[in-house]
Amino acid sequence: MGLRGRATALLIALTVVGCKGSTPSANGADGAGGSASSAGGTQSETVTDTTMKNETAFTVKIPAKWSFQGVLLQGGLPTCESYFMLSWRAKSPDGLSSEEQMPTMLWAYGTGPHPTRGCMPITGPMSAQDFLKYLAASMQLTYVADEPMPDQNAAVQKQWQDADANTAPFYAARNLPAPKDTGEVTAAVVQSKSGTTTLKGQMLVNMHCLETTQPGMHSILRGIPDRPTTTVTKCTADVMYLSAPESQYAGLVQVWQAPGMGAQQNTQWGNAWVQRYAKNAQQQSNQLIKASWDALDAEEKEIAHTMAMQQEEHDQFLSAMQASTDASMARAGAAMAARSTAASDVVDFALDRQTVLNPQTGLISKVPDQVTVGAPLQKAHGNGTP
């Protein structure tokens, strides 16, 4: 089963900026009537980009006389959206049959910082088949059966594996963990009611997830905590939904699988859009780089301040230790001098003598205690202190 002309899966969408036009093809004069599967030719619809002078962004080929609504959705950071995405719906004249490319659905999860605004409330890994079950329930559709697409699924998975293999050397050379891409394509059969009419439907999803790892960091500075390794996964799901009365379902599938049906991107517009996006992305990158350098400068200043405070505390500690040591040594010296004086006086008393100082010569002498001390002799303490 083909992808039924769906547009290439891009990322993201919220702000509506599109409009539509209609150009019937030459073989569309007979019309499709009320029946979704009746032959009647085709017509081409356009979706323009009002942010680029209303240039045609996509042309969508649908059955003739079907109604059409289409918008171009522009994304933007830091929400879940990043790129543009086409969304459109075509309905048969009787209103019972339809084909639509739904707005891209996005979600993110992980242990690292990740966006939440504009994201679906999905907080963990989910297979593409489980996503369709989740979406069908949210749209109040009865999920009838899985409809695997092994060939397309294998091709998509190889596409992302090749992309990872091509970028692996870049990350390896920088000793960085490489992002990991995964993709799935699958479909499901669903059922709903429109009044008394039972509608059979097919939901097809092209899902892509990108997992990035941010290495952790062991802090060597006091007050700065360790930073653990974190991972963040961002996923996008592009869904095509086909619905018709059961009796017309098979014919409608054939109609939409015909070559050229569905959306085709205007290459000239796509190139211009990519150039504009790259320019805006570079500006945002420059701003982020500047903010990173500013944050680094602030962190370096904080580290320098912390180290200066630590050095000051260290110097104050050494100064306090030196002052305490000097005071202790002075007290020890004074105590020793006091003990020496007392011991000398005791010896002089025992030997009936006295210690005298000659002020003129500075000499200290021991004389009998009977000698009268006067000038030029002065009585001194036992250690020589007058």
CA–CA gap between residue 7 and residue 73 (Å, rounded): 13
Identify the pLDDT of residue 325.
82
Report strand pairing: 67-74 vs 230-245: unpaired
Query: C-alpha distances in angstroms, 71 versus 66, 177, 254, 320?
Result: 17, 38, 25, 76
> Where is average pLDDT lowest: 55-64, 199-208, 218-227?
218-227
Identify the pLDDT of residue 290.
74
**HEC profile for 164-229?**
HHHHHHHHHHCCCCCCEEEEEEEEEEEEEEECCEEEEEEEEEEEEEEEEEECCECCCCCCCCCECC
Identify the pLDDT of residue 47.
96
CA–CA gap between residue 131 and residue 186 (Å, rounded): 10
The 10s digit of each residue's pLDDT in 230-266 is 999 999 999 999 999 999 999 999 999 899 999 999 9
Q: Provide the mean pLDDT of the chain.
A: 80
pLDDT for 310 beyond 50: yes
Q: What is the mean pLDDT of residues 57-72?
A: 96
Q: What is the mean pLDDT of residues 25-35?
A: 39
pLDDT for 119 beyond 80: yes
Identify the pLDDT of residue 133.
97
The 10s digit of each residue's pLDDT in 260-289 is 999 999 999 999 988 988 887 777 667 767
CA–CA gap between residue 329 and residue 321 (Å, rounded): 12
The 10s digit of each residue's pLDDT in 340-380 is 666 666 666 666 666 766 777 766 666 676 656 555 555 55
Residue closest to 9 by CA, chosen among 107, 85, 67:
85
88 band by pLDDT with thresholds 50, 70 and 90: very high
